[in-house]
Chains A and B, each alone.
Chain A
Amino acid sequence: MTKLLEVEDLHARIAGGRDILKGISLSVGAGEVHAIMGPNGAGKSTLSSVLAAKPGYEVTAGRILYDGADIAEMPADERARKGVFLAFQYPVEIPGVNNTYFLRASVNAMRRERGEPELDAAQFLKLVKKKMSLLDIKDDLLKRAVNVGFSGGEKKRNEIFQMAMLEPKLAILDETDSGLDIDALRAVSEGVNKLRDPGRAIVMITHYQRLLDYIEPDFVHVLAGGRIVASGDKSFARELEKTGYAHLERAA
């Protein structure tokens, strides 16, 4: 059976530049949590950008199969409506756009895609309350403009809250731990753990080991020089903790 996400020999670059991803293959099944680790410049953010269809990046070879279909040419909004979610490393501040208004538009875009009726304000609020209690989010975040004036921790928490609201099939967490103190990291990780689900795949991209202490992955991959140079199960993470990945990087 094909997995939810099958990346096959993926080459990609910033438009007009040289390939940054040089043949990535990755297979992620529903219910699995994968961690992709690697040093700066390995291609981690390029991988998350390409998976989420960020403009300015182009796939030069290989395939991205999602749910059995090649989505390499599919625009970001369509991917999102099909269940691909990217938690941003740097969530974007959007002055003038109210967080609740934005989120309702987003939830309803998903529902239209699935042929479900849109939620009215009251129904939406009910859903918000349910998810807020799950993630321990303060509702004043929802009254403000999207990410404007949020602390680093609030921004990341808001990303996970959006994930809870949108219920993606594939969630890509791009450096979700970066810039967080221990308390914020714990809160964000607890949120992610609550969203683990047999029907949902999670790919965490991170520079630091410590995230794996809070969100235990099923599989760990090391990305270096645009390729995955080593993979293993969760015991591999503990091994890496001792040895580091510098020697793997050199092997690449």
Chain B
Amino acid sequence: MSAMVQAAEPSWLVARRAAAKDRFAALGLPTSKDEAWRFTNLRVLASPPAGGAARLTLNAPALPEGVRFASISAMLRDAPERLEALLALPEGADALSALNLAMFSDGYVLEVAPGVRLDEPLEVFQDNQGGAVHTRGLVLLGEGASVTLVEHATGTGWTNSVTHVALGGGARLRHAKRQAQAAESVHLSAMTLTLGEGADHESVILALGAGVSREAVTAVLAGEGATVSLRGAYLLGGKQEASFVPEVLHLARHCSSRQLVKGVLGGEAHGVFLGHIGVPEGADGTDASQTNRNILLSAGARVDTRPRLEILADDVKCSHGATVGDLDETALFYLQSRGLPPHQARRMLIEAFAAEIVDEADLAEPQRDALQRALSSWAEALA
């Protein structure tokens, strides 16, 4: 059973883990004084469980030349030099990202050579078996490459997921994520993206499970004409809490960005939206929008929503808005007057409200259908 024996890690990794651990110690965990965390239930951060195990499965069609899609553990064995070049703590990394590098057990690398376009999606299944699991994702698309990546986060425990994405000029990434962890679990996710000239990214993230979850996506539009669309939905009941923290930095000219996050909350659930658009001086021709819409199904549910714009450039088109409301009583009556029982009528309206996130996503039919089914079953539970 030699596979059971953990091979010693290369010395470069041991050193980087130690440096990351130091950095984590220096930074300390976020507190309620950190703007990006002030609405989040921080008790879950204070006490991550010790140890943990996860089942990581990568699912891919037959891969053409120029595509690498492998677990980090496999790369440590097969291509450690390449991994050494990729696996680093970026400047300005926050405490959880540092903790992640210090502690990560596994993750995946997706590298696509310039010009390679894949139609079939690549899938990552991350099933937390309990305890604290730190997992990493690395996605690098060469110029003009195109791929769809679908993530499924399930299981129990305390998950800290960190993903770095770099898109070369004209590269196109479609990213869909379904977070459906068990009710008592914690799911913290931070994704950072850098987009080159004319690169095009879309994320569709469904936060359905977990007791406390957080989806932070930071997109840096570094090349002219890059476009990013960050779509998300949280459907929460009981005492669930979900935060969406989308951030877009328009560093280059003529880039466009869309943020659209919708939430439906019942029970005593808590939703948080902290959106940010940054347009520094000189980023002319920027077109950005940011929208957060919420429906509260019960008196105990609540939302903290804070759309934020920082615009220093002159020639900019920007819009933002946030709404919090109830299910439309008139629409409910209309549906019921046609014989639909109250539960079915509510479900139909919840689903219709949230479905926009998925319906208008730029995904192929099977991926969109799968996300719709996931939304549907959570809408059913909430209604």
| Contact bitstring A122-163, B, C-beta under 8 A = 1, else 0 | 000000000000000000000001100000000000000010
In whole angstroms, how far apart are the Cα atoms of A53 and B332 in the complex? Answer: 12
Q: Among B330, B333, B335, B352, point to the contact of A95 (Cβ < 8 A).
A: B352
Chain B proximity of A22: nearest CB distance (Å): 24
Q: Give the Cβ gap from B263 to chain A, nearest Cβ, in Å.
A: 15
Determine whether B33 belongs to the interface, using a CB cutoff of 8 Å to chain A: no
A109 at the binding interface (Cβ < 8 Å): yes
- Pick the contact of B348 from A102, A110, A162 — CB < 8 Å? A102
Given the interface contacts A92-B334, A94-B334, does A106 sit within 8 Å of B339 by beta carbon? Answer: yes
Instruction: Check if A202 is an interface residue, CB within 8 A of chain B.
Output: no
B337 at interface (Cβ–Cβ under 8 A)?
yes
Contact A94/B335 with A77-B342, A77-B345, A102-B348 known, Cβ cut-off 8 Å: yes
Instruction: Assess whether B355 is interfacial by the CB under 8 Å rule.
Output: yes
Contact of A106 among B338, B349, B352 (CB under 8 A): B338
Given contacts A55-B333, A76-B333, A91-B334, contact A106 B340 (CB under 8 A): yes
A219 at the interface (CB under 8 A from B): no
**Chain B 276-335 residues near chain A, CB threshold 8 A:** 328-331, 333-335
Contact A92 B341 (CB under 8 A): no
Main secondary structure of the interface of B (DSSP, over half): helix
Question: A88 near B: Cβ within 8 Å?
Answer: yes
Q: Is the CB of B353 within 8 A of A80?
A: no
**B356: chain A residues within 8 A (beta carbon):** 96
A55 contacts which chain B residues (CB < 8 A)? 329, 333
Minimal Cβ-Cβ distance residue in B for A106: B338
Cβ of B344 within 8 Å of any chain A Cβ, yes or no, is yes
Using known A-B contacts A55-B329, A109-B341, determine if residue A97 contacts B348 with beta carbons closer than 8 Å.
yes
A88 proximity list for chain B (CB < 8 A): 334, 337
- Within A99-120, which residues are at the interface with B (CB < 8 Å)? 102-103, 105-106, 109-110, 113
Q: Which chain B residue shows the least CB distance to A91?
A: B334
Taking CB as reference atom, which chain B residue is nearest A101? Answer: B348
Nearest Cβ on chain A to B5's Cβ, whole angstroms: 54
- A103 to B351, alpha carbons, bound, how many Å? 16
A-B contact count (CB 8 A): 73
Q: Is B41 an interface residue (CB 8 A)?
A: no
Question: Which residues from chain A contact B330 at a C-beta distance below 8 Å?
Answer: 92
Question: Which residue in chain B gives the minimum CB-CB distance to A84?
Answer: B337
Q: Which of A75, A91, A96, A110 meets B336, CB within 8 Å?
A: A75
A217: min CB distance to chain B, Å: 23
Residues on B with beta carbons closer than 8 Å to the beta carbon of A94: 328, 331, 334-335, 349, 352
> What 1/0 flags go to A52-84 for Cβ under 8 Å of B?
111100000000000000000001110011000
Which residues on A sit within 8 Å (CB–CB) of B334? Answer: 88, 91-92, 94, 146
- B354-368 Cβ-contact flags toward A at 8 Å (1 or 0): 011001000000000
Determine whether the beta carbon of A81 is less than 8 Å from that of B339.
Answer: yes
Shortest CB distance A71–B (Å)? 14
Task: Check if A201 is an interface residue, CB within 8 A of chain B.
Answer: no
- A86 engages B349 (CB within 8 Å): no
B352 pairs with A96, CB closer than 8 A:
yes
Cα distance A88–B337 when bound, in Å?
Answer: 10
Interface residues of A: mostly helix, strand, loop or mixed? mixed
Q: Which residues of B contact A92 (CB under 8 A)?
A: 328, 330-331, 333-334
A50 interface residue (CB < 8 Å to B): no
Q: Give residues 65-88 of B contacting A (CB, 8 Å).
A: none
Across the interface, which residues of B come within 8 angstroms of A146, CB to CB? Answer: 334
User: What residue in chain B is nearest A107 (Cβ atoms)?
Assistant: B339
Q: Within residues 235 to 279 of chain B, which ones have a CB less than 8 A from any CB in chain A?
A: none
Contacts of B342 in A (CB 8 A): 75, 77
Task: Check A113 against B349 for contact (C-beta < 8 Å).
Answer: no
Q: How far is the CA of A113 from the CA of B335 in the complex (A)?
A: 16
A166 contacts the other chain (CB 8 A): yes
CA distance A77 to B359 in the complex (A): 29
Q: Is the CB of B337 within 8 A of A113?
A: no
* Cβ 8 A contact of A80, one of B329, B337, B344: B337
A4 nearest CB across to chain B (Å):
18
Known: A94-B349, A94-B352, A97-B352. A54 touches B340 (CB 8 A): no
B351 to chain A, nearest CB (A): 8
Residues of A within 8 A of B329 (CB): 55
Which residues of chain A have C-beta atoms less than 8 A from B353's C-beta?
Answer: 96
Min CB–CB distance B65 → chain A (angstroms): 43
Report the separation of the CA atoms of residues A54 and B332 in the bound assembly, to the nearest whole angstrom: 10
Across-interface contacts of B336 in A (CB, < 8 A): 75-77, 80
Which residue on B lies nearest to A79, using beta carbons? B337
Contacts of A105 in B (CB 8 A): 340, 344, 348
Distance to closest chain B CB from A186 (angstroms): 26
A218 CA / B103 CA spacing, docked (Å): 82
Q: Which of chain B's residues have a CB closer than 8 A to the CB of A76?
A: 333, 336-337
Minimal beta-carbon separation of A46 from chain B (angstroms): 15
CB A93 to nearest CB in B, in angstroms, measures 8
* Contacts A80-B339, A86-B337, A162-B338 supplied; 7 other A-B pairs, CB < 8 Å: A92-B330, A92-B333, A95-B352, A97-B348, A106-B340, A109-B339, A166-B338
A-B contact pairs, 18 of them (CB 8 A): A54-B333, A77-B341, A80-B337, A80-B338, A86-B337, A88-B337, A92-B333, A94-B349, A96-B355, A102-B335, A103-B338, A106-B339, A106-B340, A109-B341, A109-B344, A113-B339, A145-B352, A162-B338
What 5 A-B pairs have minimum CB-CB distances, sorted nearest first? A96-B352, A92-B334, A80-B339, A109-B339, A77-B336
